[in-house]
Amino acid sequence: MQILKGYGDFEILTPEEFLKSQNLIIERAGRTCYQSQRGGITKESAERFIAMLIDRGHLSVLEHSILSVKFINCSRGFTHELVRHRLASFSQESTRYVDESNTSFVVPPHRDEKEQIPLDNGQSLSLEQMLSESERYYRALRKHGWPPEDARQILPIAIKAEIVITANFREWRHIFESRTQRAAHWEIREVMCKLLETIKTLVPAVFDDFVLAGKDNNGIPYYKME
């Protein structure tokens, strides 16, 4: 068993050059709406055009885009929240077919996983011990012949999971708005804030209106849209 604390990360699967070039597609698509086609669309003209679209709330034009991201070392709780964003495509690690006998668990960075927690029988266990016990029970079921899809019923949502999400820029803006604000869960907020910072350097015209608003008591940042 491995304890993961602050290991949540991502890998951008969309090639960087294609990611940056999509601004030009957005301008060309948007100019169809206004019948203002022009030759010589440039990086600068596309950035100005996108800023105009966002300012006017004409966000549907941003849907002529695509961004695929793989999330790693995150919990099943993280993926449960992420798949609620319905205007996207997901490919998730399966607990029906993947054996979790030697898994990893994601724990809150602001909690001591070795702290003893009193139980109602007078004994105490740490979070680390509780997770270890769930893994031990899972192994017992597997050794007894239970397939992963049955044995997984004993697993907590803290188990490590991987997931790939593909969505257009408009939906990513919605994801970032929901998952980087202070009220968002600490795990998804921490990972999404790191992703947002990276995406802002790659496609600033689309995401530069997200600004750092502060950090919570645990040092995890949060953002807001200006």
56 an active-site residue? no
Please give the Cα distance from 186 to 167 (Å, whole number): 22
- Average pLDDT on 198-222 reads 95
Please give the Cα distance from 196 to 207 (Å, whole number): 8
Residue 6 binned pLDDT confidence (cut-offs 50, 70, 90): confident
- Domains along the chain with CATH numbers: 1-168 (3.30.1360.170)
pLDDT tens across 45-88, in order? 999 999 999 999 999 999 999 999 999 999 999 999 999 999 99
pLDDT tens across 140-154, in order? 999 999 999 999 999
Catalytic residue among 76, 173, 179, 189: 179
